[in-house]
Structure 1
Amino acid sequence: MKKLSLLLLLSLALFSCKNEKELTAMSDNKTKASDSAALKANDFAIIIHGGAGTILKKNMTPEMEAAYKATLEEAIRVGYTILKNGGSSLDAVEKTINVMEDSPLFNAGKGAVFTNEGTNELDASIMDGKTRNAGASAGTTTVRNPINLARAVMERSEHVMLSGKGAEIFAKEQGLQLVDQGYFYTENRYKALQKIKDSEKTELDHDDKQAFYDPNIKDSKFGTVGCAALDKNGNLAAGTSTGGMTNKRWGRIGDAPIIGAGTYANNATCAVSSTGWGEYFIRGMVAYDISALMDYKGITLEAAAKEVIQSKLTNLGGTGGIVAVDKNGNLVAEFNTAGMYRATMNDKGELTVGIYIE
């Protein structure tokens, strides 16, 4: 009888303990759900960059500053409209980047810098945060909008990156718009090449010691363009497009088409697009590193971006920046240079446009 009573008491204790654990778990889940809801900043959001570098207000004419701001606003409003109407983050990223690729102001598409041989070699990449599928193209010379080619590689091939002539053959087969080399010609970019060749230097279209000078900006910049977006369905995407380095040789490729360095997106964390000294962004796998810090350490996008750009990248000797949006719609632009062309829009339609370090 005593044994039976003891067993009954033990069973009741175990039942009580189990119920307590279940209640605790339910409470924890509610807390987590509450915390998640509290962290939700925007139902959808978009952020772009047009390059980072030694961008100083004293070297910018009012007319040029207005031109950059107008194009940044034009570009981001294209993506914002897509997101507002329920479109996908991939569409928003691609169409937003198209606007900047078609502008001579940026080192991408129409405004691409020249190689040592006097040609234009373009790179781009895009990534879908939902599937983590990605596409990239490198070293193309006739594709008008390389970001379109990157997306075609992602969605219409079994590959992640295509390069050179093969990429152009694929672009033609996919019906993408091809142009003559002359389309990419801009006077300022050509003069920049001649200046560097005269001094026999290889220039990163950013360095104030090996600077790209034009009549309007007396100091240099990165002109790579990029975009990161979150859509109403909770899907993240990022893309990056560039003309690379002025006076580059030997088929040099930077970080822009490298998944994890120039572009990364993961619905569980964030979407990132990079701009800067590509070799360092590749060595540091900057875009992925930000996502990994959020995933493994559980820190915020802002904290992760600051650690990677202001600490890791800077300690490596690299310069540049990133734009990013996390799964909760928080927007971050982080850079270690004097400026970065950038713009953001949230689900309320609030627009911010920035150039300098403020």
Structure 2
Amino acid sequence: MFTIAIHGGSGTITRSDITPEQEKTYRQALEQALVTGHAVLANGGPALDAVEQAVRSLEENELFNAGKGSVFSAAGKHEMDASIMCGHTLKAGAVAGISNIRNPVSLARLVMEQSENVLLMGRGAEEFAQLHNIPVEPDDYFYTDFRYHQLKEAQQANKVWLDHSRTNTGKGTVGAVALDQAGNLAAATSTGGLTNKMYGRVGDTPIIGAGTYANNQTCAVSCTGYGEFFIRAVVAYDISCLMSYKGLSLKEACDYVVRDKLKSIGGEGGLIAVDRAGNVELPFNSEGMYRAWRNQPGAGDVAIFG
């Protein structure tokens, strides 16, 4: 049974934060990405293709803090991160601190498949993209008034903001996980990071085992939240380990890591996960998470609030 789940960020999200019209638009965007990935699986395609295409859909929607909708760094730039992992081979690819790449998740996959590396960063990653003719866009493509005003507010407050905090209702990190008809798992994650981030800051998104992980023996995971805590807790890999070493179910592992372990160190956020049987979990310890899932029989949901 094939299954796919996607997310568009977690945080302080309540019905009072967005209008009914905005909620409808967000749900439509989640549904579009979900349908894109689900169609790949329904046609017998691999989980890797499904998660890449679902994330590309979210990267090309300015509502979400990834790709086109990425937030501004303190330098007034868009510094994007992404990763992807194959549960069958345990191969992975990631990029960090890149600019002008239309679909960072596709560059991450290229790193996985066309290099001997796992993680490339900054100018080097961009040179690698150029070598392989990865589509790029001018700065204007990534500019929105909403993101620019976010930056100015953050600079005036002298703070670095999660995109999905109460004062910034735009969506955060995006991701997808999938199980295909061949029984293979895959995960992918993409983000623009934090508004007003400095010093070349990199979060958990491109860190394999922290923000993204996939293993056919256990599960596929994509995380969203304050990345520093997810790195410290090695969240994505920890869930796989709890299933492998302690025999926990996907639900038990996710609940423990997100609601107990992560929360105990002050980490706010959530994740999406699917196991090798097609079970889906979408836990979060914040007030909401932009999320959706669907399996082969057609069961699923699109949700925003807690």
TM-score where L is the length of structure 1: 0.84
1:232-286 deviation per Cα after TM superposition (whole angstroms, max 9, x unaligned): 0000000000000000011000000000011000000000000000000000000
Q: What residue number does 1:18 align with?
A: none
2: distance between equivalents of 1:187 and 1:348?
Answer: 41
Unmatched 5+ stretches in structure 1: 1-42, 213-219
Q: What residue number does 1:105 align with?
A: 63
Q: What residue number does 1:195 align with?
A: 153
Query: 1:224-239 residue pairs with structure 2 within 5 A?
Result: 224-239=173-188
- 1:51–1:221 CA contact under 8 A, matched in 2: no
- 2:64–2:170 CA contact under 8 A, matched in 1: no
2:6 is the alignment partner of 1:68? no
Q: What residue number does 2:89 align with?
A: 131
Q: Indicate the SS of the match to 1:241.
A: strand
2: distance between equivalents of 1:221 and 1:185?
Answer: 14
Q: Indicate the SS of the match to 1:337.
A: coil
Amino acid at match of 1:310: R
Q: What residue number does 1:275 align with?
A: 224
1:49-102 deviation per Cα after TM superposition (whole angstroms, max 9, x unaligned): 000000110121011000000010000111111101100000000000000000
Q: What residue number does 1:78 align with?
A: 36
2:102 is the alignment partner of 1:144? yes
Q: What residue number does 1:305 align with?
A: 254
Identical counterparts, % of pairs: 54
- In terms of Rg, which structure is larger? 1
Amino acid at match of 2:75: E
Distance 1:76 1:183, change over 3 A: same
2: distance between equivalents of 1:159 and 1:199?
Answer: 39
One of 120, 125, 140 as aligned partner of 1:182:
140
Deviation of 1:221 (Å): 5.8
Question: Size of the alignment, in residue pairs?
Answer: 306
Highest relative contact order (Cα 8 Å, sep 6+), 1 or 2? 2
Amino acid at match of 1:280: F
Q: Indicate the SS of the match to 1:197.
A: helix
- 2:211–2:223 CA contact under 8 A, matched in 1: yes
1: distance between equivalents of 2:106 and 2:188?
Answer: 10
- 1:47–1:227 CA contact under 8 A, matched in 2: yes
2:116 is the alignment partner of 1:158? yes
2: distance between equivalents of 1:84 and 1:282?
Answer: 34
Q: What residue number does 2:279 align with?
A: 330
- 1:55–1:221 CA contact under 8 A, matched in 2: no
Query: 1:7-18 residue pairs with structure 2 within 5 A?
Result: none
2: distance between equivalents of 1:311 and 1:134?
Answer: 28
What RMSD over aligned residues (CA atoms) do the two structures have, in Å? 0.9
Query: 1:26-45 residue pairs with structure 2 within 5 A?
Result: 43-45=1-3
1:317-353 deviation per Cα after TM superposition (whole angstroms, max 9, x unaligned): 0000000000000011000000000000011123310
2: distance between equivalents of 1:130 and 1:144?
Answer: 27
Q: What residue number does 1:19 align with?
A: none
Deviation of 1:139 (Å): 0.4
Q: What residue number does 2:239 align with?
A: 290
Unmatched 5+ stretches in structure 2: none
1: distance between equivalents of 2:140 and 2:92?
Answer: 30
Q: What residue number does 1:255 align with?
A: 204
The structure whose residues are more often helix, as a share, is 1
Deviation of 1:179 (Å): 1.1
